[in-house]
């Protein structure tokens, strides 16, 4: 299967992407991993991306698209893949369609993980990270430390990272609504969107997603 995974920050895309790729036996292609791999291996695309990042600029779509195209062309992705973080906007979605069309293949589904905005804020703003190098992560509601403000593992101080603050989370949500959410309507017009609730235990969400993808594949 060829799947695009979408959803707001805090929806659990990374966790579900790993689980679904294992269950479906297709590679998980993450934008973050693509950037890290290209930069660490000092590929031409990696050097180009780093030049923009070092200057404090956004990496242009064409660089991201080229990285994705290169990864999707590798042997392990011949029979399918799960894209996580790409496409991030309608322009990238259009470019992806063109890439797939050139290879005479199509997307099978766009899996939309649906989470209420207040729950997203609660999930991310509740994180507490250990200041020590281990950076163990806890959550004030879902996985609280035994002693408030203290890491269970090493005894380090727990703190809220700046990018986990409520204000930052809401700004990230605004960016998602403006830039990424429109791709859901784009793919709905193609009949590809499968929406599931991303609330509940992780295992339950995985099974919900697998069931929805199977029903979609069967045409039911």
User: Among this protein's residues, is 123 annotated catalytic?
Assistant: no
Q: Is the pLDDT of residue 65 over 60?
A: yes
Among candidate residues 13, 71, 122, 123, the one labeled active-site is 13
User: Among this protein's residues, is 88 annotated catalytic?
Assistant: yes
Q: Are 15 and 202 in contact, with CB atoms under 8 Å apart?
A: yes
Task: Give the three-state DSSP class for 127.
Answer: strand
Q: Is the pLDDT of residue 133 over 90?
A: no
Q: Are 111 and 212 in contact, with CB atoms under 8 Å apart?
A: yes
pTM value is 0.88
Q: Is the pLDDT of residue 29 over 80?
A: yes
User: Among this protein's residues, is 170 annotated catalytic?
Assistant: no
pLDDT on residue 40: 93
Confidence of residue 135 (pLDDT cuts 50, 70, 90): confident
Q: Is the pLDDT of residue 182 over 80?
A: yes
Composition of the chain by helix, strand, coil, percent to 5: 50, 15, 35
pLDDT on residue 168: 92
- Sheet of strand 137-139, all strands in order from the earlier edge strand to the far edge: 137-139, 127-130, 158-159
Among candidate residues 161, 171, 214, 215, the one labeled active-site is 161
Q: Nearest to residue 86, comparing CAs of 104, 105, 56, 59?
A: 59
> Looking at residues 96-120, what average pLDDT do you find?
95
Q: Is the pLDDT of residue 220 over 70?
A: no
User: Among this protein's residues, is 71 annotated catalytic?
Assistant: no
Q: Nearest to residue 7, comparing CAs of 108, 119, 84?
A: 84
User: Among this protein's residues, is 214 annotated catalytic?
Assistant: no
> Looking at residues 72-90, what average pLDDT do you find?
94
> Looking at residues 107-136, what average pLDDT do you find?
93
Confidence of residue 216 (pLDDT cuts 50, 70, 90): confident
42-51, 55-64, 72-81: least confidently modelled range: 55-64
Among candidate residues 50, 88, 170, 208, the one labeled active-site is 88
Q: What is the pLDDT of residues 184-211, one digit of tens each?
A: 999 999 999 999 999 999 999 999 999 9
Task: Give the three-state DSSP class for 134.
Answer: coil
């Amino acid at each position: 299967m060829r799947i695009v995974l979408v959803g707001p920050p805090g929806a659990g895309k990374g966790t579900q992407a790993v689980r679904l790729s294992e269950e479906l036996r297709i590679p998980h292609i993450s934008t973050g991993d693509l950037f890290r791999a290209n930069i660490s291996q000092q590929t031409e695309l990696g050097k180009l991306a780093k030049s923009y990042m070092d200057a404090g600029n956004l990496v242009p779509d064409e660089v991201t698209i080229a990285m994705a195209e290169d990864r999707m062309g590798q042997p392990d992705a011949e029979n399918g893949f799960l894209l996580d973080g790409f496409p991030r906007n309608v322009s990238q979605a259009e470019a992806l369609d063109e890439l797939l069309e050139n290879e005479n293949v199509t997307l099978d589904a766009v899996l939309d993980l649906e989470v209420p905005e207040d729950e997203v804020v609660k999930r991310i703003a509740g994180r507490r990270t250990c200041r020590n190098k281990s950076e163990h992560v806890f959550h004030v509601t879902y996985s609280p430390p035994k002693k408030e403000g203290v890491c269970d593992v090493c005894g380090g101080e727990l703190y809220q990272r700046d990018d986990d603050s409520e204000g930052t989370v809401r700004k990230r949500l605004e960016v998602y609504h403006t830039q990424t959410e429109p791709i859901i309507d784009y793919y709905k017009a193609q009949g590809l969107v499968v929406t599931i609730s991303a609330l509940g235990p992780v295992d339950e969400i995985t099974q919900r997603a697998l069931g929805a993808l199977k029903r979609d594949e069967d045409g039911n």
